[in-house]
Amino acid sequence: MPDSTIPEPGGLADNLLLAACSKTLARLGAEVRVRADGENLVRALVAAPSFAPRAAPAGVPDAHLRFAAATRESLRPDALQGLPPVARVEACGLPNLLHELVHVALAGRLADDHGIDYQAIPFDLSAASGRAVLWDEVAACVVSCAYLRGGSGDRDDWVGVDEWFDEQLGIQPVFYGMDDEPERFWSMLPRVIATHRDEHDAMTSTAYDRVATLLRLAAGYETLPMRTSFDELWRRRGAS
């Protein structure tokens, strides 16, 4: 994967989105730090309870309605209330903060590594549990790219998006034991998604719905992203 440098947000739309993401995470109980040397992580400070169920497989009746109801009950009434934080969220800019927000939305909690057991690396993609980690990561890549596209006239829709997609995917081979042969991961990834399309699509759709709901309920942010997909982003990077 190519190295890339993601431009810093500077337009009004970016700044409003950054503020909305920060307020949303704060109302869930996080101390949010956005700075150039941020580590891009979520670290629990206490044993925080879930604010909603972890994203479930497709076919769960009324799953999104239940998520919205649970989240509404869990939000702190005022992000500036002065209550001690239950977790710290660090990010080096808007793209990374979006990525972390998607993971938090899918996990339904503020937890180290989003509740995923990274001690279990390498994950087995032949097992549903191993693929679930991949779907979570791909959803974070896709949905954060969609929100970066925005809908304003501040910039061209795709400025920074393709580079950000590559940057997010760049670390993925290590999770599946392919850090020494990343090209095998890139050649395998579209096939795994095609073979398990229902699982992948369900997680991505859930991520879009959950993030939009969180931003609306916690920060009054109503702007919906210009939706994209793994397939579109993969084609744009010239992969077959």
Provide the number of structural domains found in the chain. 1
The confidence score (pLDDT) of residue 77 equals 75
- Would 5 be classed as within a structural domain? no
The confidence score (pLDDT) of residue 176 equals 92
Tokens standing for 14?
């970016």
- Would 149 be classed as within a structural domain? yes
- Would 1 be classed as within a structural domain? no
- Would 2 be classed as within a structural domain? no
- Would 4 be classed as within a structural domain? no
Distance, in Å, from the CA atom of 146 to the CA atom of 144, rounded to the nearest integer, reads 5
pLDDT under 70: residue ranges of the chain: 1-10, 57-61, 78-82, 151-156, 238-240
- Would 47 be classed as within a structural domain? yes
One DSSP character per residue, 85-125 reads PSEEEEESSHHHHHHHHHHHHHHTS--GGGG--GGGPSP-T
Domain span including residue 67: 12-236
Distance, in Å, from the CA atom of 8 to the CA atom of 36, rounded to the nearest integer, reads 10
- Would 36 be classed as within a structural domain? yes
pLDDT digits (tens, 9 = 90+) for 170-207: 999 999 999 899 999 999 999 999 999 999 999 999 99
Q: What is the pTM of this model?
A: 0.90
Whether residue 133 contacts residue 175, with contact meaning beta carbons closer than 8 Å, is answered with yes
The confidence score (pLDDT) of residue 239 equals 52
The confidence score (pLDDT) of residue 81 equals 62
- Would 76 be classed as within a structural domain? yes
